[in-house]
Amino acid sequence: MNTTPATSLRPSITEVPRHHTKRTAASPADPDEVNADGTAQRSTTKNKSGSQFDPGSGPWKICFDHANKRIGDHIAAWRDEIGNLLIFASLFSSVVATFTVESYHSVQEDPAETTVLLLKSLLALQLNATHPDPNLTIDLDPQAPISATDKRINIYNFLSLILSLIVVMNGILCLQWLREYGRSPQEIPGSRRDQLGISLMRREGMERWHVFTVLSTLSFILLLSLLLFFAALIELLLEIQPIAAFVSAVFVGFATMFILITTLLPSLRSLWTPDSRYFSFSQCPFKSPQAWMAYQVMKAPYIALLHLGHYLSSLKPNPNWRKVSNECKNQLKKLQLYSWLDYDWLVYTHLNRTGAIGVGGGFYWLGIMCIQDRETSEAFYDCIQDTSVQDYLYSALRDKDHRRADITVEAHIWERNNLSVDNDRPGRSIKGPHARDMIVFQTLESLAAKTERGVPSGALLPERVSLFLKISQTHLYKNLDCPQAITLDWENLVSAAPGAITLPTNNVQKDSQTIDSSGKASPSEFSVPKQLNTSTVPDTVPNTEKSKSDTPDPWKACFDHAHKRIGEEITSWKDEIGNSLIFASLFSAVVATFSIESYHNVKQDPAETTVLLLKSLLALQLNATHPDPTLAIDLNPIVPISAADKRINIYNFLSLILSLTVVVGGILCLQWLREYGRNPHEIPGERHDQLSIFLMRRQGMENWHVFTILSALPLLLLLALFLFFAGLIELLLEVEPDAAFAAAVLIGIAVAFTVLATIAPTLHIAFLAVCTFLWYHRSQRSSNDPGMAQLQNWLDYDWFSYGNIEGDDEGKNFYWLGKMCVQDREIAEVFYEGLQDPIIQSHLFRILEKQSARLVDPARRALKAERYNPSSKLVCEVIAAQTLTMLAAEVDRGYMTSILLKQRVDLFISIIGKHRDKDIDCPNAAHSDWERIFSAGKRRQVLDSIFSMLEDSEVGCNLTHLNAVWRIVQRGRPLELDPPLTPPDVHKWKDALSGWITKSDLDESLKDEAEYTLDCIKELLSRLTSQP
């Protein structure tokens, strides 16, 4: 394994590659050599194959394009993230600005509050006239006190607003830097080598000036702004409504703890790497700028302790202390991390050393995707035969398929006891070739079972069969499954050789002489085709199409495939999170407006207090003329707050906090996805190591439930919406019940729709599971479909639903696909190949029954003629022809289309040759299409087929046949035909057409078309007879 530092792998820009020709001393690095006359001459070099190439378009161009691609991908990822942050920061600033203005007013002198104080003084003075108080003092210039809470809230809001605007400002600057960083240097005059040097110089400048660090800190600053705003909200609620403050503090506390935990976990994982597989965890995916800062902070005291331990242990000559010293030195080397890529390499090497599970699940995930594609499946098969991935495969089997993992352990134990192999336990280091073959075979079988879902799969079937035979020749196992495949795959994919199979019988157990109910072949009754010889099964399965030496690097193929899939996965998640961030920001701005209003309703309003004081003053004045000894004057009246106002305030603030919590989670998830999708090409190591690191990241994302967190963000957003709806209904109930009722009806419909849409898949799964159980229980058969309890994601649900789909629905789906495919010439031909499948045609027959009785009648007659054999060639051709006719009618909309015209004409000729039916339409084509697309022989076959029906008095023809005849004949000037027409042929056609018109009872339009066609035939006959 290559562990060379990254710096040693970077050659200088001016370094000359070894395969370049030696340059002159005058210009050692200049690709343009100088001729004798002083003109520049482009030098040529030879590559490994001996061919010459121009340095301007050779290796320098390749390196330049590769660097430009990587830089472009890097810039695109940063632009997307900064764009999302800019949108949220702008909208979040408007939310914070609303609360900032409110908190600013609370720390200023309010004339309304001063008026309240003056009224209180006036009221006290009036009371003093009747009840003198010598200690009464009147302040003629009262000042409303400003509480410390209001000051803190104002500070939090302003800091939050300033930080969010800083993010916007720095984001704009970063976009400008990225634009210039990604600007193509091709506009600069110079060789391709110079342009490559400029690109690399720019990247080094971005690194040295810490531009990427600045980009990474934008999300951290935005998170800090959000936390300050949350603190201001809690302080605000704590002053006026403690219950709302407590509930809000719970939600904010969860969000804060989530941020804190995800910030510290990567640091703890990197600092704690025990050399034990039982105390090891998968790679932690919560990598973010704040987590990197936490690592730098936590690393300092840990390094100090390690240095102290190393120093103290070096003073002791005891060997045990020497071990402690070496361990301290090793730990210090591990802590030399400069980026999250170094962290990935640290965890990867640790998992490799301890044999802990860390990559097996990723390889299993890659295998599920690769095995469904012919090219990538072969590359994946080549990769899993590598001894370095055997431990990964075993760990994946142990997690995904316990039965197959137990068989692997059994093979390892047998090989250890009977053959000369190292005594290692499985999963730690399996070195025996028999156990390795068993792991590869069981992995392929598990992947095939996962992808085929009860339907025999032909994926890697030759390789699986070869491994099965090779393992069985060495030792027979009771639970070793034979690869399942349909008869067509056995014929086409598995080769045969003369001879007979010879299996050892001395290893067969006595209790394995029968085939069990699950369909596993027992060794004693195992049988293979008579022509299949396994006496010379090779160790590795040769590629039937091309030799392995001609194939590209399998690790690169698998890496590219995994990179592509992970990139698509990240892109889809980023799009969803970006949309959630935008909506959450806009929604927060809406909720903030209502929150401010509800906050005013639960806060003591100086205007309402003024009203109460004026009422008290008026009552006191009336008491002077009409004394009332029970009159009580309250100098500090409090306006009562209704319970509805309190509930509205709680709903609004909780909705606002939840929507902003979604934003917090979205920003964190964007940080994690950025590091998840980071290309590990910068890590020194082989392609195998880079692929393993990629898969280790993905398994870390699964093990730490990151995808679950991503899926939970829309749920929190829906909860925020429901709380806001509840606040709206309460608000309207208080002011206008009629409007509240109408709003409640609309909101109830929306909520009911959401609830039904949420539980509908579950109800559908339960219904299908019950129906499947009853059906198979009644028919006494076993189902291979996954049960309801085995559904782990929506992909399993899709397959479960597909297994129970009705034939009509599948036919509709294929017909809908056909309407799209036939409009594209290339895809239409592929669709035509799929149309030949008998299973699809059985579904399309039902579609024909529902769409058109005229089109389905020929299919029924063909089915009857073939004695109700739906898989006969005639029935398949009739259904295909009628389906294409129906699709063409929908596509051309009255015009003549040339889509699949050649295939439709071939079907017409083939069907009429076997089964004459006048309801089989001839494709409607223009004269130019008949001349351009078809040969002379094909046009003659069409005419012969049509007139063969006309010669049969019980068959006849229809309008499409007549249309094809006169378009080819063309009023005596026919298209070229092969064999050419002769007068006897045309005379026979004329008699057949005339007799059909005379004997048949035709409608007006068909009769007119027939007479016009007859005139064309007569003109053709006249032209042929008049020729010498």
Cα–Cα distance for residue pair 313/325, rounded to 1 Å = 5
**Residues 86 and 208 placed together within one structural domain of the fold:** yes
Of the residues 189, 206, 240, which one is the last residue of a structural domain? 240
Cα–Cα distance for residue pair 555/849, rounded to 1 Å = 51
DSSP 907: H
Residue 23: predicted pLDDT: 36
- Residue 595, domain member (yes or no): no
**Residues 743 and 840 placed together within one structural domain of the fold:** no
DSSP 681: G
32 SS3 class: strand
Structural domains of the chain, count = 5
**Residues 934 and 907 placed together within one structural domain of the fold:** no
Are 508 and 523 within 8 A, CB to CB?
yes
Residue 4: CB partners within 8 Å, gap ≥ 6?
684
What residues make up the domain containing 990? 925-1028
868 SS3 class: coil
Numbers of helices and strands, H then E, in the chain: 34, 4
Cα–Cα distance for residue pair 654/249, rounded to 1 Å = 10
Hey, what amino acid is at 406? D
Per the omega criterion (within 30 degrees of 0), is the bond before 979 cis?
Answer: yes
Of the residues 240, 272, 289, which one is the last residue of a structural domain? 240
How many other CB atoms sit within 10 Å of the CB of residue 566? 21
Residue 52: enclosing H or E segment and its boundaries?
A: strand 52-53
**Residues 68 and 209 placed together within one structural domain of the fold:** yes
Mean pLDDT, 10 residues at a time, the chain of 1028 residues: 36 35 36 40 42 54 82 84 85 90 80 74 71 70 76 92 93 91 79 82 87 86 90 87 86 89 84 56 81 82 73 68 66 72 80 65 80 79 81 82 86 81 49 84 85 68 86 83 73 53 40 35 34 39 44 77 86 89 90 89 77 76 73 73 87 92 88 84 73 84 88 91 92 86 89 86 74 54 47 65 59 73 76 76 78 85 87 87 85 70 90 90 86 90 90 85 87 81 87 84 84 87 76
- Residue 474, domain member (yes or no): yes
**Residues 743 and 871 placed together within one structural domain of the fold:** no
CA distances from 576 to 84, 288, 415, 670 (A): 11, 20, 51, 11
Cα–Cα distance for residue pair 1024/1028, rounded to 1 Å = 9
**Residues 957 and 1014 placed together within one structural domain of the fold:** yes
Cα–Cα distance for residue pair 934/948, rounded to 1 Å = 20
**Residues 1004 and 864 placed together within one structural domain of the fold:** no
Torsion angle of the four alpha carbons 583, 586, 591, 597, in this order, in degrees rounded to the nearest 10:
-170
Residue 939: enclosing H or E segment and its boundaries?
A: helix 936-951
Of the residues 240, 262, 296, which one is the last residue of a structural domain? 240
Are 900 and 828 within 8 A, CB to CB?
yes
**Residues 879 and 938 placed together within one structural domain of the fold:** no
Cα–Cα distance for residue pair 133/109, rounded to 1 Å = 30
- Residue 464, domain member (yes or no): yes
Orientation of helix 374-384 relative to helix 433-452, angle to 10°: 150
**Residues 5 and 79 placed together within one structural domain of the fold:** yes
**Residues 966 and 876 placed together within one structural domain of the fold:** no
Residue 42: enclosing H or E segment and its boundaries?
A: strand 40-42
**Residues 780 and 844 placed together within one structural domain of the fold:** no
Look at residues 306, 358, 71, 93 and name the one whose alpha carbon lies nearest to residue 206. Answer: 71
**Residues 982 and 965 placed together within one structural domain of the fold:** yes
How many other CB atoms sit within 10 Å of the CB of residue 924? 20
Residue 700: CB partners within 8 Å, gap ≥ 6?
282, 283, 284, 285, 358, 706
Cα–Cα distance for residue pair 890/663, rounded to 1 Å = 47
Global pTM? 0.68
Which residues lie across from 52 on neighbouring strands?
46
How many other CB atoms sit within 10 Å of the CB of residue 625? 6
Cα–Cα distance for residue pair 688/680, rounded to 1 Å = 11
- Residue 850's φ and ψ, nearest 5 degrees, are -80, -30
- Residue 183, domain member (yes or no): yes
- Residue 490's φ and ψ, nearest 5 degrees, are -60, -35
Cα–Cα distance for residue pair 406/400, rounded to 1 Å = 12
Residue 774: CB partners within 8 Å, gap ≥ 6?
none
Residue 933: CB partners within 8 Å, gap ≥ 6?
898, 901, 902, 925
SS3 string, 548-598, reads HHHCCCHHHHHHHHHHHHHHHHHHHHHHHHHHHHHHHHHHHHHHHHHHHHH
- Residue 276, domain member (yes or no): no
- Residue 553, domain member (yes or no): no
- Residue 650, domain member (yes or no): no
Residue 61: predicted pLDDT: 81
End-to-end CA distance of the chain, in Å?
88
The DSSP result for 671-720, as a single string, is: HHHHHHT--GGGSSS-HHHHHHHHHHHHHHHHHTTHHHHHHHHHHHHHHH
Look at residues 536, 563, 551 and name the one whose alpha carbon lies nearest to residue 382. Answer: 551
DSSP 36: T
Tokens of 679: 């290309």
CA distances from 852 to 94, 473, 838, 842 (A): 60, 59, 20, 16
Are 264 and 256 within 8 A, CB to CB?
no
